[in-house]
Amino acid sequence: MKLNELGWNNFFEEQMKRWEGSGLMAGRVVSVAGAFYIVESEQGRRESRVSGHFQYIAAGREDYPAVGDWVLLRGEGEPLIIERVLERKSRFSRRAAGRTSDEQVIAANIDIMFITASLEGGRNFTLRGIERYIVMVSDGGAQPVIILNKCDLCTEDEREDYLMQVKQVSGDIPVLMVSARSGEGVERIHELLKQGVTAAFTGPSGAGKSALINRLTGEEIQRTGELREADLRGRHTTTSRELFFTGSGGMVIDTPGLRELRPFGERDSLDSAFTEIAEAAKGCRFTDCSHKDEPGCEVLRLVSEGAIEYERYQNYITIRDEMISLDMMKSEKGRMERKAKEKTISKLVKSFYRESDKY
């Protein structure tokens, strides 16, 4: 398979120039299984692992290859050795689970991110959840597209109601009404997945991401599951991330349903998702207004008048406070790392002088 068919472009070509004559070849990660990676290149699909040097220079888990990454490989047999991960053009990531400030990269080098919700009447359609996904996608650099799946279960009036609700939070983001079961609207997804284009699906378990990928590829390559009758929530049928090729020449990445939607990125992505609040904030009396209880807060004025929905405002404040807390954890982590480094250097210096005094 040619590199351009895998999504190779000038962005990666420019990076490759510095490795000319090194004997390294480029490949794209299509699957991750523990410490092993399946990489597709012009030499075919091969099992790979990172080199010892790579492990030494990696600053954290976010530096390791993710599905969609372009990597530089060495070797001829299996496994091939991954020496470098090329700079990412985009990424979809979240704050890792637990009490940590680490980043978990879910997929890399995505052109389009399909935020998938379903219309079967369960909790797989929530405006607050869609808002969080929009924040996470906006930070990573991919183009968000909202997919409302299972529209075959709705009447025309119900479809219009769902669409009107989503338009209140989506802004200029395209919204597609589709059905993986009947195939309705799937051709509109195919139109976006042109040769070399990479898309990824995200959304809660049970939203139909795997069923849509099966429809797009024309094969039953992903297992799908039934919804629980009690709450119409889906079971986690996708437990790993993998890249698949569609009949239109594009590529799609399926991702597991995320139990914790914790944005990792900068607060600029929050403003991109809540544009009316960001615009209103320009009119606040204080430039560092928290929009909670300050006098002269334009955001609170518009909330009180109903111009900004109260639930949307609450979600904005919650996500922003999480991001502020994350920033503080990142700063504290950096301070502790610098302190540990200084302590190590100090020990080395003292050891050097002790050894010098012996002579």
- Pair 115, 177 in one domain: yes
Token readout for 91 is 């990424």
Tokens 């009690």 belong to residue: 230
Q: Which of 92, 154, 161, 90 is nearest to 127 (CA)?
A: 161
Q: Domain for residue 265, yes or no?
A: no
Residue 205 near residue 237 (C-beta atoms within 8 A): yes
Is 260 among the domain residues? no
56 located within any domain: yes
Q: Is residue 269 part of a domain?
A: no
**How far apart (Å, rounded) are the C-alpha atoms in residues 201 and 253?**
6
Strand-pair partners of 31: 38, 242
Q: Are residues 111 and 250 in the same domain?
A: yes
Give the domain range for residue 39. Answer: 3-85
Is the full-model pTM beyond 0.85?
A: no
Helix (H, G, I), strand (E, B) or coil at 251: strand
- CATH code at position 53: 2.40.50.140
Please say which residue of 202, 222, 254 terminates a domain: 254
**Domain match, 159 and 226 both:** yes
Residue 217, in any domain of the structure: yes
Count of domains for the chain:
3
Does 241 lie in the same domain as 108? Answer: yes
- Strands 91-95 and 44-50: what pairing? unpaired
Q: What is the pLDDT of residues 195-217, one digit of tens each?
A: 999 999 999 888 999 999 999 98
Taking the C-alpha atoms of residue 56 and residue 300, their distance in angstroms, rounded to an integer, is: 50
* Single residue among 190, 224, 254 that ends a domain in this structure: 254
Same domain? 48 vs 190: no
Q: Which residue has the tokens 């284009």?
A: 197
* Within a domain: 211: yes
Q: Which of 102-111, 121-130, 205-214, 326-335 bottoms out in mean pLDDT, i.e. has the lowest? A: 326-335
Pairing of strands 198-202, 112-118: parallel
310 in the same domain as 246: no
Give per-residue pLDDT as tens, 52-70: 999 999 988 899 999 999 9
The model's pLDDT over 290-303, given as tens digits with 9 standing for 90+, comes to: 999 999 999 999 99
125 in any annotated domain:
yes
- Output the pLDDT for position 100: 63
Q: What is the DSSP string of 48-59?
A: EEE-HHHHHH--
Buried b vs exposed e over 137-156: b needs ≥16 C-beta within 10 Å?
A: bbbbbbbbbbbbbbbbebee
Phi-psi label, residue 102: left if phi above 0, alpha if psi -120 to 50, beta otherwise: beta
State whether 201 and 349 are in the same domain.
no
Q: Pick left, alpha or beta for residue 296 (phi over 0 → left; psi -120 to 50 → alpha; otherwise beta).
A: left
User: 213 and 339: one domain?
Assistant: no
Helix axes 310-357, 127-140, angle to 10 degrees: 40
